[in-house]
Amino acid sequence: MNRVIATVLSWLPERLSSVLRAKQYRYRLTDVPSAPQAQNTRIRLYIAPVNFAGQGYQWARAAERLPDVSAVNMQYVKAGDFGYPADNSVPVNITRFSRPWQERQFEAVCQNFSHVIVEANRALFGTLFDADVESEIRALQARGVKVAAASHGSDLRLPSRHQKIDQWSPFNEPAWALIPSLEEKALLTRRVLSATGIPVFVPTPELLLDWPEAQWLPIVVDVERWSRDDAVLREPRLRIVHAPSKDVVKGTHLIEESMRRLQDEGVVEYRVVRGVPAAEMPRVYGDADIVIDQFRIGTYATGAIEAMAAGRIVIAHLHDQVRAHVRENFSLEIPIVEAMPDSIEATIRDIAANRGHYLPFASAGPEFARALHDGEVSSHVLATFLD
């Protein structure tokens, strides 16, 4: 939106400005939610504003395992949202353009919460502080609120670093036009973190290479929700699902030819699923023997953990650093079958021919997910900030 027009509209009463904007920027006053309320506990945590993969909500629940701690998460939502649970969902146009909401939200957070975790270096209060996260952090601190940051990956992962350590890195993809903007985004996050010196949490171990001072805050899933009783690898053809959030990042196009060949030969039934609401994913994974995750980033994240919790065989490319971090800190092996785009076909053929060898990967998945990703470990990590 033109900055001059936006300024003029901001001077008008909200009942007028909300309907005078271009159609894609409008909102209804009845959709403006009330300010978030905190419970009467000593520590009151607010996590906002993105809730990617439902993690803001899950981390809030993990924090509430601690004594005398309550937590609220907030997310801005757009059309086509995946439907992850959240305590406080706000239409994105309200966060961007409703000055009354922005002012009320800031005051409510300052008055009601003792701690804030800023997700993905995104502005919590729209344009109240010109969408400048560093200014928001300093304003919260000036009101006595303790602030930390939680990365979600692309906001911190530096493409120029990652492309040097992995030949399959998506940042080596010549046609990917977003690489310069992702580099700029990661550099901006670094400037904010350096300038403020706030504690930093990362959801996956490989991000510790991007910010060594960070703490790993494991992704949390509802393990029981994903639990299945049925065994895998019972059908003649392997049932394989791949659910890419971003094809270029997951490496979807790099395995298409191999998967097509395997399907044509009757070795597999291969499905690529996109845009499925979060509530339907347990059924999608439950109907599979194997879940193919990603080949380009070198880590495991929400989808892989959910598939492990469901007792499925997970195939992905993990960096040695990721496996070593889990092994050295938790004495656990990640039960994910290692493969790369140039070895995925041979790996799947081997699974089809030697099924008994791979069943332990499936059986170890739920135990691993429960040990590291049911929220207990994450609550202990959050305790280091929630003092």
Residues 303 and 136: their CA atoms lie apart, in Å, by 32
d(CA 299, CA 191): 25
Q: What pLDDT is attached to residue 22?
A: 57
Report how far residue 339's alpha carbon sits from residue 262's, in angstroms, rounded to the nearest whole number.
16
| Residues of the chain predicted below pLDDT 50 | none
Q: What is the pTM of this model?
A: 0.93
The answer to whether 228 and 371 have CB atoms below 8 angstroms apart is no
Domain 223-373 sits in CATH at: 3.40.50.2000
Q: What is the DSSP letter of 225?
A: H
Q: Per-residue b/e over 145-167, b at no fewer than 16 CB within 10 Å?
A: bbbbbbbbbbbbbbbeebbeebe
pLDDT tens per residue across span 60-86: 999 999 999 999 999 999 877 788 999
Q: CATH 3.40.50.2000 region(s) of the chain?
A: 223-373
Report which of 247, 173, 178, 164 is spatially closest to residue 209, judged by C-alpha positions. Answer: 164
- Looking at residue 266, its pLDDT comes to 98
What pLDDT shows up at residue 2? 60
Amino acid identity for residue 237 in this structure: R
Q: Model confidence over 327-370: pLDDT tens digits?
A: 999 999 999 999 999 999 999 999 999 999 999 999 999 999 99
Residue 6 near residue 93 (C-beta atoms within 8 A): no
Query: What is the model's pLDDT at position 326?
Result: 99
- Percentages of the chain per state (helix, strand, coil), in multiples of 5: 45, 15, 40
Res 145: pLDDT: 99
HSE, CB side, 13 Å, CA atoms: give it for residue 334: 29
* Domain boundaries 3-220+376-383, corresponding CATH code: 3.40.50
Using an 8 Å Cβ cutoff, are 357 and 306 in contact?
A: no
Q: What is the DSSP string of 14-59?
A: HHHHHHHS-GGG---GGG-PPPP---SSSEEEEEES--GGGHHHHH
What is 312-355 written as a DSSP string?
-EEEE---HHHHHHHHHHHS-----EE--TTTHHHHHHHHHH-H
Listed residue (23, 53, 31) closest to 150, CA to CA: 53
CA-wise closest residue to 110 among 75, 76, 147, 59: 147
Cα separation, 306 vs 225, in Å, equals: 9
What are the counts of helices (DSSP H) followed by strands (DSSP E) for the chain? 17, 12
